Every structure is written in C-alpha cells, then in structure tokens.
Structure 1
Amino acid sequence: MNRKRVLIVLSGLLTIFSVLLVIMTGTKANASTINDYIISNKIKPVSITYREGTFSHWDGYENGVGNPEGVVVHDTAVDGDSAAAEEHSFNTFWPQYQAYVHAFVDDGNIIQMHSTDYMVWGAGPTANNKFIQVEICHEATQDGFARSIANDAYYVAHKLIQYNLKDIPGVTVMSHKQVSQKWGETTHIDPDEYFVRFGYNMDQFNALVTYYYNNLKSTNDVYGAGVTNNAGVESDNVIRVKNSNGSYVPLVAFQGDGSVKTVSNRALANNTPWYTDQSKNYNGVTYRRVATNEWVDASYGI
C-alpha cells in the first residue's frame, strides 16, 4: 500500500527492536504456542461489523462483480493502532493514500468498510483485481496478538466459504509479501515482518485458517460445535441458503420507495453460507442483507 512506503524503514527498525526486546525479556512465544493458545482456550472470533466506508469506486474483479479469487492478508505497519482508528484514517484520507482495503482486524473487532463483491486498492493492480484484502492491527501482548489472529483467520475462512472458494495457501490465501514476490508490483513484506515479533508465520496462520474453514463448513462453528436456529441463521450472523425449487437462490434490491426488485445478474448458490448484518420486512417477508443492496428472503435459510 502506498501509505506504507513512508513507514517501511521505521517498521523495519521497530521489528529489529522488537526481536531484541524479545531476546532480552524472554517473552517471545513460538508459532505453535499461539495456535495452541487460541484453540485450547477456544478464543471465539468476534462477528463481522459492516460499516460502509467512503471509498467511492465500485469496480468488479477481473472475473466480475462478486467473484474474488481469494484473500490477501496485510498488517497496518502502525504500532498501537486499532481497527476503528484505521477505519477513520482510511475513510478520511484514502484519496491521499491512494489505497483502501475491505476490512481491518484487531483483538476485539472485525470492521468491514467495503463490500467484498467489489475490488479495492491495497496490493498492486494484479492482486487488486483478484483478491479481498484485510489488514491486521499491531498488538502489544501475546493475548492481544492471539485474539487478533483468531479474528483475522476467521475473516479469511468466512470469506473463502462465502464465495465458494477452496482453502489453498499461497493461491487463495496470500500474504502481501507473497503478492510482491509473485507479481513484483509492490515491495511490501507484510504481515511476515510483524508476525515474527511473536514467533509466528504465514504457515501457522494458514493452519489456523484451514482449521476454522473446515469446522465452519462442516458444523458452522470455528470449533466444531455450531448450531443453526430455525430461521436458518447460523452463529456469527451467517445464513445458509437453499432453494428447494431451483438451482439457485434469488436476490432482491430495495428501491428508493421501499419496494423490492429482483436482481437479474446475480444469485446465491444453493447450500452456501452468507454473512448478513441487517434485516428488513416488506409485505410480510423478512429479508436478510448479504451485500450492499442485495437481500435474500429469510425463508430460504436452512
């Protein structure tokens, strides 16, 4: 991201300092310890909060609107920040930064600012046209880092499932460093240089994503114990949909007068989970929002 160019030298110095501090204090945890800590304590990822940001570009991916190919994982390169602070910063200054991402994650929040049906500017032209992009904020403690990692891994797994993508490290889940190495359009090495502060790495992050991904697909719960209610709404505001009378589930858009109109160029695949953050009633029908102005009849929930 362009904003990071002014921070990269400072970030590198901070990383070196952090490693030296770890050596002196003995506070560094190894990578397996972080994942073990998350899983053994069943640290529950928070729900995704969707607050539409100010990014005014609504361009589809190279395969079209609603067709990302995976997720790029970034870190913010700012010590002591938060998802809310980054949200405010980007919504205020993205024209100057010439950068924007879909979501920010910290130890207590997952804030999504732009529909993942549409591309953003975070990792160079090629990756921007292919991937959802999320940034993890810098935490100061092992517990804070673990909680933010749980939230980040959940967001990535959730998005893979939402768009019916396979979990393939290095292909559908990439770090910004991997993007830089593959396409050479940026020089960033995040989040690797941040992860190393806690003895963590992308291999361990991918392992946690896979753990969550498999559990969410099989049980609707990151730890394999999910329950779906009678309205078809899963844990963490996810609705799994199916049209018993057709091969897809139709979507509607709300018009300015409050009425609904069928979306003609997009629908949901049967038996797929979708994040939903709002509900509306129209003519006795409850609709759940799955994109900026795309809603599904809640009766399709299973």
Structure 2
Amino acid sequence: MLDELGGMRYMSKKVNRSVAWLFGLIAVFFGVLLITSNTTNAQAATTNEYIIDNRIQPVAIQYREGTFSDWFGYENGVGKPEGVVVHETADYGATAENEVSYFNREWPNMQSYVHAFVDNNAIINIHSTDYGVWGAGPTANAKYVQVELCETHSQDAFARSIANDAYYVAAKLIQYGLPAVPGQTILSHNQVSKMYGEITHTDPTGFFASMGYSMDQFNDLVVTYYNNLKNFGGVYRDGGSNTNAGSNNNTPAANVLRVNNPNGAYVPIMALRSDGTFARVTNRALMNNTDWQTDKTTEVSGVTYRRVATNEWVATTYVV
C-alpha cells in the first residue's frame, strides 16, 4: 500500500491511516524494547543487592577427590596458580552433583576437567587446586584454578549460585595469597579465550546476560567477599561463618574440619617433609571459620595434624 501514489482522497486517507498505524506499531515495539531493557538493567542492579539484603550465606566447599588422573603443576609450580577462571556449564537444569558425576565418568572421552562445580545448593571441589586441569586451553590450564557455574533460572536460585561461586573464587584467591584483581586474577572463560586465542568459548557472558547480570557485577561481589573474609572473617562485615554444604546448621560432617585461629586472621598450614618433620607453608593459609575435608592424621613432636590437601596439614589446635 505504501508504494502506491494514487491521487484519490480515499487512497490518501487510507495511506495516512496505514502510516499512522505503522508508526504506532513501531512506537509500541520500541516501547517494549525499552521496558525490556530497563527490566534487564534493574535485574543487573539488584542481583547483588538481593544477595546482600537477604544475607545469603554461601555454603561451605566440599572437597572430594575425583577421577582426573593427570597430575601436573602450574607453570610456576605445584600450589602456585595465578588466579581463577569462571566457567558456565550451559547445561540447563543440571546440578553440581549431576556435573560431578558426568565429568568423573566422561572426562577421558571429553578431554576436559575442572576443579569445582557450583550451584545454588553446593560447592563441590573434585581436584586439588594445587594442580592444573583441562578446561580453558593449554596456556590458561597452566595458570588458573577453574570453576564451573551450573545454570539456575529463578532469581533466588541464581542469586544463591552466584553467592556460592563468588565465595569459591574469593576463598581460592585468599588460600593462595593472590590479590582480587578483575581481569588478572578473576577471569571469565570468555576473557581467557580472547587473551590467549586458543579456544573460542564465551561463557559465562551469555548466561549472565540472560539473567540480567554481568561479569563486572560478579567481580564486584568477589572483591566484596574477598575483603570481608580477610578483614572480618566472613562474607559480611559482621563476620559469621558459612554453613556446611547440605546442612541447615553450623556442624561440619564427620570428615570435615572447621578451622579458626583466634589469635590471627588466618590459620597456618604445614607441609610434611620427607624426613617426617613439618615446614610452614608461607605463601597461603586457610581462612578463619571455613570447613575443610580431611582424610589423614599424623603426630609430630607431640602435635596432632590433620591433612586438608595433598600435602597441606593443619594442627588440631586450630580445629573448632
């Protein structure tokens, strides 16, 4: 109709009505876009606020040894990662437990493995973060701890999964004595893809955007948790410990230790030397009021130690 140039008044009026209708439709269309955009921006502004306002407490990290059998140190040595890479599973509805089972079974076929999986209910670490994994290309694998965030799609579940993920990242940075620097020690899979050019993955950018969230917002939460954990002993400024995963109270499971140093900001860890003596680990420590899985006990010079990592031990004097 709009390409007709007839001079009759009827045609002219019909064209005018059609034009008016079209512009009205365009106005409504852009109005919907504006509303959608504003809603997305509002969500992005409120996810972290939702976490803080509801005082969502991250769950404790569960440590389980997985089936990954390629034990290799980072480029700077065993126990010397340079930061944490954040992934997203792109597996709608799969939980951390689902992903752990799948990766433990299929990693030889997939040629892929990460250190941990996180959802709204659990943080499950399945390979010692003292050693690298296969998740982000050869260069990044030799540098970073790697964690996968599971997809959750309600506001509350997403917020809880984000809180758990940010806590894991902050905890690992503190464990290894690293600063919390977005783009340097806190990276997305998308960022390392661009940095090293060895892979083309863009997660978790797309999933974050679908939930009205961004990597910048996630970085803000990690830095907040990092500073509060170091300065106040918990993710909030008034301190407070994190509950054990899967529990509604503060009592760790039988094979989990809760550690605290009442006289300092961190709990020291020791390395067992070949001569049977211990040496203080100087480049990392355990955060106060955190839970650690343990599997062995030994006694040296009258002090009992519990193992919390491949060769990291904590004196039972620090066990709550």
TM-score in terms of structure 2 length? 0.75
- Per the alignment, residue 63 of structure 1 pairs with 76
Change (3 A) 1:270 1:95: closer
| Residue in structure 1 matched with residue 167 of structure 2 by the alignment | 154
Contact 1:242 / 1:271 at 8 angstroms: preserved in 2? Answer: no
Q: Which residue of 2 aligns with 1:144?
A: 157
Q: For the Cα contact (< 8 Å) 2:177–2:284, is it kept in 1?
A: no
Relative to structure 1, the CA distance from residue 243 to residue 54 in structure 2 (aligned partners, 3 Å threshold; closer, same or farther) is farther
Counterpart of 1:175 in structure 2 is 188
Shift of 1:28: 8.4
Q: Number of residue pairs matched?
A: 266
Could you say which residue in structure 2 is the equivalent of 1:17? none
CA distance in 2, matches of 1:49, 1:166: 23
Residues 162-241 of structure 1: matches in 2 within 5 Å?
162-226=175-239, 239=259
1:277 pairs with one of 263, 287, 293: 293
Could you say what secondary structure the match of 1:104 adopts?
strand
Aligned to 1:288: 306
Mapping 1:1-302, distance limit 5 Å:
23=36, 30-226=43-239, 239=259, 250-252=270-272, 261-262=276-277, 267-269=280-282, 272-274=285-287, 276-278=292-294, 281-283=297-299, 285-299=303-317
Larger CA deviation: 50-59 vs 290-299: 290-299
* Greater strand content: 1
Q: Is the 8 A contact 1:83 1:111 kept in 2?
A: yes
- Displacement of 1:198 in angstroms is 1.1
Gaps of 5+ in 2: 1-32, 242-249
Q: What is the CA–CA distance in structure 2 between the aligned matches of 1:235 and 1:204, rounded to whole Å?
A: 32
Inter-partner Cα distance in structure 2 for 1:82 and 1:270: 33
Letter in 1 for 2:271: L
Q: Secondary structure at the match of 1:299?
A: helix
CA RMSD of aligned residues (A): 3.2
Using the TM superposition, give the Cα deviation of residue 292 of structure 1 relative to its aligned residue in structure 2, in angstroms. Answer: 2.8
Match of 1:13?
Answer: none
Letter in 1 for 2:315: D
Aligned CA distance change for structure 1 residues 263 and 118 (closer, same or farther; 3 Å): farther
1:4 counterpart residue number: none
Deviation at 1:141, TM superposition (A): 0.7
Q: Residue by residue, what CA displacement relative to the aligned partner does 1:160-218 show, whole Å, maximum 9, x if unpaired?
A: 00000000000000000000111111101000000011110000000000110000000
Change (3 A) 1:238 1:118: farther
What's the offset of the Cα at 1:261? 3.1
CA contact (8 A) 1:242 1:301 kept: no
Q: Tell whether the 8 Å contact from 2:228 to 2:236 is kept in structure 1 after alignment.
A: yes
Q: Share of identical aligned residues, percent?
A: 55
Q: 1:111 to 1:250 in 2, by over 3 A?
A: closer
- Alpha-carbon separation, structure 2, partners of 1:201 and 1:53: 30
- 1:201-247 per-residue CA deviation (whole Å, 9 max, x = no partner) reads 0000000001100000001100122268xxxxx99966466999xxx
Separation in structure 1 between the aligned mates of residue 251 and residue 261 of structure 2, nearest angstrom: 14
CA distance in 2, matches of 1:154, 1:117: 18
1:29 deviates by 5.3
3-state DSSP of counterpart to 2:133: coil
Q: Return closer, same or farther for 1:293/1:249 CA change in 2, 3 Å cut-off.
A: closer
Specify the alignment match of 1:6 in structure 2: none
Deviation at 1:279, TM superposition (A): 6.6
Which has the higher Rg, Structure 1 or Structure 2? Answer: 2
Task: Tell me, yes or no, if the aligned pair for 1:240 and 1:272 is still in contact at 8 Å.
Answer: no
- Aligned partners of 1:101 and 1:134 also within 8 Å: yes
Deviations 1:74-122 (A, max 9, x none): 0001101110000000000001110000000000000000000000000
Off by >6 Å, runs of 4+ in structure 1: 241-244
